[in-house]
Amino acid sequence: GESVGLHLPTLSVQEGDNSIINCAYSNSASDYFIWYKQESGKGPQFIIDIRSNMDKRQGQRVTVLLNKTVKHLSLQIAATQPGDSAVYFCAEIPYGGATNKLIFGTGTLLAVQP
């Protein structure tokens, strides 16, 4: 029979509020992390990346925080807009692994309420 898919976590926020999307990774040796955004009907798009020698990196309206102690990655979106509604994926490359083998998380659906 058909296998049961994973339930996609959903974050619902009001337009103008800040959003925080979280991701837990499993490999303590992971060296490089990326956040992707996937809108309906499109492929994932690169948002921001961070290396393991950094704790924080900022882009335009987005900030990525890395806590290696607890193996946690977060994406903060300031002043969330309706166009930010999408599924957000974190991805990692394990240190010493194939440099082109990204491991993706399940994803979080961000729903922005007007």
Partner 1 sequence: ETGVTQTPRHLVMGMTNKKSLKCEQHLGHNAMYWYKQSAKKPLELMFVYNFKEQTENNSVPSRFSPECPNSSHLFLHLHTLQPEDSALYLCASSQQEGGSYGYTFGSGTRLTVV
Binding site residues, partner 1, CB under 8 A: 2, 5-8, 32, 34, 36, 41-46, 49, 89, 93, 98-102, 104-107
Q: Please identify, using beta-carbon distances, which residue of 70 and 98 lies nearer to partner 1.
A: 98
Q: How far is the CB of 114 from partner 1 (least distance, A)?
A: 25
Q: Please identify, using beta-carbon distances, which residue of 73 and 105 lies nearer to partner 1.
A: 105
With a CB cutoff of 8 Å and minimum separation 6, the contacts of 18 are 76, 77, 78, 79, 80
* Contact of 80 with 67, CB cutoff 8 Å: no
Q: How far apart are CA 111 and CA 11, in angstroms?
A: 6
**Going by DSSP bridges, is the β-strand pair 62-67/72-77 parallel, antiparallel, or unpaired?**
antiparallel
Q: How far is the CB of 57 from partner 1 (least distance, A)?
A: 13
* Contact of 107 with 35, CB cutoff 8 Å: no
Q: How far is the CB of 83 from partner 1 (least distance, A)?
A: 17
Q: Please identify, using beta-carbon distances, which residue of 33 and 85 lies nearer to partner 1.
A: 33
Q: Please identify, using beta-carbon distances, which residue of 14 and 90 lies nearer to partner 1.
A: 90
Q: How far is the CB of 36 from partner 1 (least distance, A)?
A: 8
Half-sphere exposure for 92 (CA within 13 Å, toward CB): 22
